Amino acid sequence: MFSLAEPTPLVVHRFLEQQAAHETTYTPRGPIDGLPPAGFVVDQVRFCLGNGRDVYARAENALIRWRQFDLGWVRLVGVGPRIAVGEVVAVAAHVAGCWSMNACRIIETIDESTPHRRFGFVYATLPGHVARGAERFLVEFSPDDESVWFEICAVSRPNALAARLARPLFRHWQDRFRSAAAAAMQHAVEAPPA
């Protein structure tokens, strides 16, 4: 959904209600970092957030609070959902003077303790999204060196006509989001506990 005006709470509520009635527009076949279907690309980036169990606890808490979307030009809108399969989330992006509101449904949660501690989720796009695909957000603790990693892995292609027509610009904003999301997670980990 595109608009010149910032989405109001009522618009967000109606959008989420409408999108929740739909099935996702993409269903991963196997891991999303595998071979993508024709026309889709896989983007995977990992960022080291630091070392230690305290850093991991902060990273997991930041992911639970959706801090990777605290970017100013991109943000979670509506009530912050729980990280649970079936939850629908809307993200608003303000790019080039235009607002885009995008909806996804969480299709998988990750909460593992062996061999590494890993926490995260995968969400897939709904019809009102500018892209078609799925994205995984993950924090991981490696007991070998106590390093803490934040990973984003996405398989996607443009869905909206504007995104298809401006594919290089669309890809630029996807890359910018991944870098900014990692910086937001780094900031969340480094900030003193509230």
Please give the pLDDT value at position 192: 66
pLDDT in tens, the chain (194 residues): 677 778 888 888 999 999 999 999 998 877 777 788 888 888 899 999 999 999 999 999 999 999 999 998 888 887 777 899 999 999 988 887 888 889 999 999 999 998 789 999 999 999 988 889 999 999 999 999 999 999 999 998 887 666 666 666 777 778 889 999 999 999 999 976 65
Read off the tokens for 12: 């967000």
Q: What is the pTM of this model?
A: 0.89
8 A C-beta contact, residue 140 and residue 39: no
Please give the pLDDT value at position 3: 75
**What's the rounded Cα separation, in Å, for the pair 3 and 97?**
9
All domains of the chain, ordered by start, with CATH? 2-30+40-190 (3.30.530.20)
Please give the pLDDT value at position 158: 81
Please give the pLDDT value at position 117: 94
Please give the pLDDT value at position 9: 87
Q: Three-state DSSP class for 165?
A: helix
Please give the pLDDT value at position 63: 95
| Per-residue DSSP letter, 146 | T
Which helix (H) or strand (E) segment holds residue 61: the answer is: helix 53-64
- Taking alpha carbons only, the member of 75, 62, 69, 63 closest to residue 191 is 62
Read off the tokens for 78: 């509506």
Please give the pLDDT value at position 193: 62
